[in-house]
Amino acid sequence: MRQEEIWDAVAAQRYDTPGTGMFAEEVLGPTVDRLVELADGGPALELAVGTGRVAVPLLQRGVPVTGIELSQPMVDQLRTKVDADALPVVLGDMATATAPGRFSLVYLVFNTISNLLTQAEQVACVRNAARHLLPGGRFVVELWVPQLRVLPPGQPGTVFTAEPGYIGLDLLDPVTQRLVSHHFRFGRGREAELFRSPHRYIWPAELDLMAQLAGLELESRHADWRGTELTAESTSHVSVYRLPAG
Ligand SMILES: C[S@@+](CC[C@H](N)C(=O)[O-])C[C@H]1O[C@@H](n2cnc3c(N)ncnc32)[C@H](O)[C@@H]1O
């Protein structure tokens, strides 16, 4: 399935969950606080801006934000919150599209670099981020740490969440580093709703190499937006890369 088919009008209309999930204050608050800090008074570019989950509150905190986004329906949702003068969006692929200007911060959150399904596209995306940076500017990536230790021998998949009304299952191919996340939502009846999204997982060290190819240097890496230390048990990371100032 192509990304444009996944992020269609139905997905876009269901995306926002104000106050809960990825829109909960305890998730968004620390994300936006840290991005304000990292923007360091300059403008920001969000790759795959979506419906503006992060971009809109960041703008409200006084950071000028521009977006790049592939899906028109996701941008349509964003436009119900903010107009194009306040938050311009370039419709296109984050691996290749160009937004006007240079930015002190480019960010790509919520695992979305993994929506590019080949290493070549992911490398191109990191290079594209670097091209948009001012000297000394930062590129921030929020990404999960592949949990291959939990993949039993001979089993193609793992359940990452099981709770009343929801089961999340990943089916993985360690050869291509591709996986398909299956999100099953159900009530008391027989019917379940399934949302599937394909990804290519990236090792933290592989991401560092992609950044190096783009001329970026790792500045910091933490387990979350609050600055928690990254350990062998961490399931996610927030990595900050910097374009040398010189
Ligand atoms: C999980 S959502 C994240 C949206 C937003 N960044 C957030 O944190 O809520 C993934 C978004 O990536 C967009 N996307 C997927 N592939 C893309 C690509 N190659 N270029 C630009 N946007 C892309 C989708 O259309 C969707 O809006």
Q: Rounded CA gap, 144 and 122, in Å?
A: 15
The CB of 109 under 6 Å from ligand 1? The reply is yes
Residues contacting 90, CB < 8 A, separation 6+: 66, 67, 68, 69, 97, 98, 99
- Asked whether 69 lines ligand 1 (CB < 6 A), one says yes
* Model confidence pLDDT, tens digit, residues 195-235: 999 999 999 999 999 999 999 999 999 999 999 999 999 99
Whose CA is closest to 64, among 22, 105, 112? 105
Pair 52, 87: CB distance under 8 Å = yes
Mean pLDDT, the chain, rounded, equals 96
Q: Is 112 in the pocket of ligand 1 (CB under 6 A)?
A: yes
DSSP 182-239: EEEEE-SSS-EEEEEEEEE---HHHHHHHHHHTT-EEEEEESSTT-PPP-TT-SEEEE
Residue 6, Cα to own-chain centre: how many angstroms?
15
Stretch 136-152: mean pLDDT, rounded? 93
Mean pLDDT, rounded, for 152-181: 94
Q: Name the residue with the closest Cα to ligand 1, atom 25.
A: 71
* Nearby residues of 114 by Cβ (< 8 Å), 6 or more positions away: 143, 144, 199, 200, 201, 202
Q: Are strands 178-186 and 166-173 parallel, antiparallel or unpaired?
A: antiparallel
pLDDT of residue 121: 98
pLDDT at residue number 4? 84
* Better-scored residue on pLDDT, 147 or 183: 183
For the residues 80-92, what does the mean pLDDT come to?
98
**What's the CA-to-centroid distance between 246 and ligand 1, angstroms?**
32
Bigger pLDDT: 246 vs 30 = 30
pLDDT of residue 147: 87
Alpha helix (H) residue ranges in 92-199:
119-131
Q: Which residue has the higher pLDDT, 117 or 5?
A: 117
E strand segments, the chain = 44-47, 65-69, 89-91, 103-108, 133-144, 157-163, 166-173, 178-186, 192-200, 217-222, 236-242
The yes-or-no verdict on residue 30 having pLDDT over 80 is: yes
**CB contact set of 209 (below 8 Å; sequence gap of 6+):** none
Helix (H) or strand (E) holding 59: helix 55-60
* Cα 160 from Cα 169, distance rounded (Å): 6
Cβ of 15 less than 6 Å from ligand 1: no
7 lines ligand 1 (CB under 6 A): yes
Helices 204-213/119-131 angle, 10° precision: 50
Q: Is the pLDDT of residue 1 over 80?
A: no
CA–CA dist 38, 204 (Å, integer): 20
The pLDDT, as a whole number, for residue 3 is 86
The pLDDT of residue 2 is 84
Contact 172, 153 (CB under 8 A): no
Q: Which residue puts its alpha carbon closest to atom 19 of ligand 1?
A: 93
152-161: average pLDDT: 91
Higher pLDDT, 153 or 202: 202
Tokens of 110: 């919520």
Percentage of the residues of the chain whose pLDDT score is greater than 90: 93
pLDDT value, residue 157: 92
Task: Tell me if 214 sits within 8 A of 130, measured CB to CB.
Answer: yes
Element (H, E) at 4: helix 3-6
Flag whether pLDDT at 151 surpasses 90: no
